Chain A
Amino acid sequence: MLDAPDKSQAAFAQWVRRLVTGAAELRAFDAGEIDAVMDRDSGSAVLLPEAQSALHDSNRIALSALDALPGEVCVLDANGVVVMTNKAWRVAGAAHERSGLDVRAGENIFVACGDVPESERECAAAVSDAVRQVLTRMRRSLSYGYVCHAARTRPLCEFTIAGVAGDGPVTAIVTREWDGEGPRAKKTPRPATRRSSKSSSLLQTAEKNHLLASLPAADYARMESGLEPVELTFGKVLYEPGEPMDAVYFPGNSLVSLLTLVEGHRALEVGLVGREGMIGARLALGAATSTVRALVLGTGTAMRMSTARFLKEFHRSPALQRALFQFTDLLMIQISQTAACNRFHIVESRLARWLLMTSERMASPEFHLTHELLADMLGVRREGVTVAACALQQRKLISYRRGDITIVDTPGLKAASCSCYRYMQVQAAARTNGR
């Protein structure tokens, strides 16, 4: 398919008229009822500018709007072909091992309904029938319970199929909610009402936290009811030294700094935890109070779990134990390396290392931090940070403006960072590979 050649409207109309000779075709063209013209020279269809921009606009808007929705959504065309799915749908599909009619763009839901394990056939047939009824305007919306036998966990979900009648043929929006409460009465048409979308947002944040994502589906499913999505905002203190830790946090895209307080001195960062780990891992080692201040540096999502529930899950899940020990090991490496780094390496290299670690954990090259905080992070005076940041900026590795830091040249910054950064990278890779 080609887009319309870059011609003025008049020239384009002339070009179309040369290609299109039939009277009926020309009449339709003049009436604005044509989308594309076949070009024999290129052997392809040339979209008219109006059709082209309509397609671009509608696709772009629809895709971004759908992805922003927390619920799991799949859009079907009039034939039952999946036009698009949103991010939550795809994420949940992967998390549930593609059970629960996890169709993908381009697939046909009727075909998918016929291609399920024997045990799901009855449910799939009900959903298939519901989609057919909605697409043929017999019903506006229907909801069905669906028992997934293929999935090892969370075997129930509910499909709501709602028809969308616009200019064109009826299309359908299918939403899927996972449910642990038990199968709903089948074949009970009811209005498409949304319940809490907690499970969808849970999955999204869980996906972002690598520690949770590394757990087997069964272990994660057991923990899920104890996980509560929260937003951690910049400056929030999760723990103070000596105080009990009443909850643990699994950061999604948030970032938490672990600071040690020594009487008479400023706080000093000893560790940095983001999506790769958790806050409160010390509980797993038998401790009840924190020795550090846990300060939120990067605003973002996290999953919160009460200490009592966490300890229960920890003791019954070997997978969680393994993941935690691995993370604790890496955190210890980070803490010990940071101690040595603070003593031996120059501020500029340390700043470069710290910026790289922060950027990786936040999955973003941009973040906001004042010189004051950076001084705390690196254990130096504010002036020292200013000099180091200016030096990195002059080398065009970062840009720094009123606390807004952007990493401009990541490879350059890696070269400028101290060896501790590379050492920690190697250690993390080794642990991930099970060495």
Chain B
Amino acid sequence: MAPKRSKQAAKSPVTTVVVMRLYVAGRAPNSVKAIANLEAICREHLKDAYKLEIVDVCEHPRRALDDGVLVTPSLAKLSPKPSANVIGNLSDTSSVLAALGLTSVP
């Protein structure tokens, strides 16, 4: 059900776009929270410089299995390198920022 979504910074070509994929289980409570938390973090810290794909594992289990996802919600940062993962409902903002490599962002 969750469609692909992308927001890219067009204004500044030098901005690094963070590419993420969030695996969720439909509208299950932790999945809904994870989406909300991630969106809030992206709005605050990345403005438009991110690309987020939400994968509903209930509808596309094969994708999660192929990507080595064990549980949901699960966030994978794909680029820039190094890649990183955060498991859970993403309520711990600092660990999400650390995984996204944004700890130094003022």
- Asked whether B70 lies within 8 Å of A35 as measured between CB atoms, the reply is no
Within the complex, the shortest CB–CB distance from B20 to chain A, in Å, comes to 15
Instruction: Give Cα distance in the complex from A32 to B30, angstroms.
Output: 9
How many B residues have CB within 8 A of the partner chain?
Answer: 35
Interface 1/0 per residue, A115-141 and B, CB below 8 Å: 000000000000000000000000000
Whether, in the assembled complex, A103 has its beta carbon less than 8 Å from a beta carbon of chain B, the answer is no
- Given known A25-B71, A33-B89, A167-B36, contact A44–B61 (CB-CB < 8 A): yes
- Asked whether A36 lies within 8 Å of B57 as measured between CB atoms, the reply is yes
Within the complex, the shortest CB–CB distance from B63 to chain A, in Å, comes to 10
- Asked whether B31 lies within 8 Å of A35 as measured between CB atoms, the reply is yes
Instruction: Give Cα distance in the complex from A58 to B27, angstroms.
Output: 10
- Asked whether B28 lies within 8 Å of A19 as measured between CB atoms, the reply is no
Within the complex, the shortest CB–CB distance from B100 to chain A, in Å, comes to 15
- Asked whether B70 lies within 8 Å of A22 as measured between CB atoms, the reply is yes
Whether, in the assembled complex, A45 has its beta carbon less than 8 Å from a beta carbon of chain B, the answer is yes
- Asked whether B70 lies within 8 Å of A19 as measured between CB atoms, the reply is yes
Find the A residue at minimum CB distance from B85.
A24
Whether, in the assembled complex, A47 has its beta carbon less than 8 Å from a beta carbon of chain B, the answer is yes
Find the B residue at minimum CB distance from A21.
B70
Instruction: Give Cα distance in the complex from A54 to B24, angstroms.
Output: 15
Contact of B61 among A1, A78, A167, A169 (CB under 8 A): A1
Whether, in the assembled complex, A222 has its beta carbon less than 8 Å from a beta carbon of chain B, the answer is no
Within the complex, the shortest CB–CB distance from B98 to chain A, in Å, comes to 12
Segment 36-82 of A: residues with Cβ below 8 Å from B: 36-38, 40, 43-45, 47, 50-52, 54-55, 58, 77-79, 81
A residues near B (Cβ < 8 Å) are: 1, 19-22, 24-25, 27-29, 31-38, 40, 43-45, 47, 50-52, 54-55, 58, 77-79, 81, 83, 106, 108, 167-169
Instruction: Give Cα distance in the complex from A47 to B30, angstroms.
Output: 11
- Given known A21-B70, A167-B33, contact A51–B25 (CB-CB < 8 A): yes
28 contacts between A and B (CB under 8 A): A1-B58, A1-B59, A24-B85, A27-B87, A33-B30, A33-B73, A34-B30, A34-B87, A34-B88, A35-B24, A35-B30, A35-B71, A36-B71, A38-B64, A38-B65, A43-B62, A43-B65, A45-B25, A45-B57, A55-B28, A58-B27, A78-B35, A81-B2, A106-B1, A168-B33, A168-B36, A169-B35, A169-B36
Whether, in the assembled complex, B101 has its beta carbon less than 8 Å from a beta carbon of chain A, the answer is no
Contact of B25 among A25, A35, A81, A106 (CB under 8 A): A35
Instruction: Give Cα distance in the complex from A2 to B31, angstroms.
Output: 16
Query: Which B residues are CB-close (under 8 A) to A58?
Result: 27
Find the B residue at minimum CB distance from A44.
B61
- Given known A38-B64, A40-B65, A167-B32, contact A25–B87 (CB-CB < 8 A): yes
Interface 1/0 per residue, B69-92 and A, CB below 8 Å: 111110000000000011111010
Known: A36-B25, A44-B61, A45-B64. 7 other contacts (CB 8 A): A19-B70, A22-B87, A27-B88, A38-B64, A54-B28, A79-B5, A169-B32
- Asked whether B62 lies within 8 Å of A29 as measured between CB atoms, the reply is no
Segment 15-71 of B: residues with Cβ below 8 Å from A: 24-33, 35-36, 39, 57-59, 61-62, 64-65, 69-71
Instruction: Give Cα distance in the complex from A23 to B87, angstroms.
Output: 10
Query: Which A residues are CB-close (under 8 A) to B13?
Result: none
Find the B residue at minimum CB distance from A106.
B1
Q: Most chain-B Cβ atoms within 10 A of its Cβ — which of A34, A36, A77, A78?
A: A36
Query: Which B residues are CB-close (under 8 A) to A52?
Result: 28
Query: Which A residues are CB-close (under 8 A) to B58?
Result: 1, 36, 45, 47
Instruction: Give Cα distance in the complex from A374 to B50, angstroms.
Output: 72
Whether, in the assembled complex, B3 has its beta carbon less than 8 Å from a beta carbon of chain A, the answer is yes
Find the B residue at minimum CB distance from A108.
B3
Within the complex, the shortest CB–CB distance from B42 to chain A, in Å, comes to 11
Find the A residue at minimum CB distance from B43.
A136
Instruction: Give Cα distance in the complex from A78 to B43, angstroms.
Output: 14
Find the B residue at minimum CB distance from A58.
B27
Instruction: Give Cα distance in the complex from A53 to B5, angstroms.
Output: 28
Query: Which A residues are CB-close (under 8 A) to B69?
Result: 38
Find the B residue at minimum CB distance from A1.
B58
Instruction: Give Cα distance in the complex from A28 to B91, angstroms.
Output: 11
